[in-house]
Structure 1
Amino acid sequence: MDWNCLRIGLALAAVLILLSAGLEDVRSREIADRKPIALVVLAPAWWWSMGLSLWPGAPIQLALAAAIFALFAFAFYLNAMGGGDVKLIAALSLWLPVQPLVAMLATMAIAGGAVTLAMLAERAIGRLRGRVASGPVEVPYGVAIAVAGILALREPIFNQFV
């Protein structure tokens, strides 16, 4: 079997799931549970295609995902992030070893800041046009997660050609 084809197919599936989650978050400010679940279900096939060992590789990935879930669940508890965002980040963390995961989280923070600024600018423009919005700005953070995840997932696919 050609492992590169499997790897590329799985990465493409993950990219499509992330794009779908980002678009859904923009439209409805929610991310359906089936999207993080799909990432979780596909993660072991990704591990296998990447040559991750059953011991200690798989337990390390599971522990890393549990730690990421706990961290972002605390953000959810503080009302700083939505539940769908937390599940999507945790599911995505199953796909990335420590170093790429840290880079993805940094990229996600930057992209999240950009999305937040765009939402604030949209609200300010609305006020200039006479539309007054009430309540806090709802940031579709799924967009930032999708952008960061897609950038992180492209690394193992395209770096082999460098």
Structure 2
Amino acid sequence: MSSAAIFIVFPLCLAFAALSDLLTMTIPNRVPAILLGAFLVIALASGVDFWQIGLHVVAAAAVFAVCFLLFALNVMGGGDAKLLTACAVWFGLTNALVAFLIYVSLFGGLLTVAILLLRTQESRILAAGIPLPRLLFTAKKIPYGIAIALGGFAAYPTSPLMLQAFSQLNG
């Protein structure tokens, strides 16, 4: 049961957050809350010891500290900060967390360039009738939840819980 949850909860929450950010430029608070709560339940049900859970929480706290600073400097949105923090708890203090953050940065850069290019072509896109959310053109923000989700999808197969779930499938 916990293996199935490992395969479903994290990717589903990321997909929902990305879609919500694309369409509304907001990430609902329930998404990071579900990610945090589900991690604790799944980790305990999977037999992860309290020491390891603590290290996962430390990873999330470190990411939160950096995100809070970026939010205070008005560089990052609050929803993005909460989502990154909630994702970090799933990766823990591992190389997978580093990979996740690198992927998010790379996808975020590509996303930003793509949206800025789209915005320069707004009149052509609208005249062609291409169905894109209007907020992509009118908001001054970038829906970074998309980059967070893509980074999560790319790094998640190497996360501790996924590696454990894969080993249970093979064993």
TM-score (norm 2): 0.79
Matches of 1:128 and 1:30, distance apart in 2: 26
SS in 2 for 1:80: coil
**In the alignment, structure 1 residue 118 sits paired with structure 2 residue 121:** no
User: Is the 8 Å Cα contact of residues 25 and 31 (structure 1) preserved in structure 2?
Assistant: yes
Deviation (angstroms), 1:137: 3.7
Matching residue's letter, 2:66: L
**Structure 2 equivalent of residue 71 of structure 1:** 66
Matches of 2:33 and 2:11, distance apart in 1: 14
TM-score (norm 1): 0.84
Deviation (angstroms), 1:49: 5.0
Tell me how large the CA RMSD over aligned residues is.
Answer: 2.5
Deviation sequence 1:86-129 (CA, Å, 0-9, x none):
00110111111221111100000001011101111101112667
Identity %: 29
Change (3 A) 1:51 1:153: farther
Deviation (angstroms), 1:36: 0.4
User: Is the 8 Å Cα contact of residues 67 and 81 (structure 2) preserved in structure 1?
Assistant: yes
Q: Structure 1 stretches of 5 or more lacking a match?
A: none
- 5 Å-filtered alignment, 1:141-152, equals 141-152=144-155
**Structure 2 equivalent of residue 19 of structure 1:** 15
User: Is the 8 Å Cα contact of residues 5 and 42 (structure 2) preserved in structure 1?
Assistant: no
Alignment partner of 2:142 out of 139, 143, 151: 139
Deviation (angstroms), 1:138: 1.4
SS in 1 for 2:65: helix
Q: Structure 2 stretches of 5 or more lacking a match?
A: 128-135
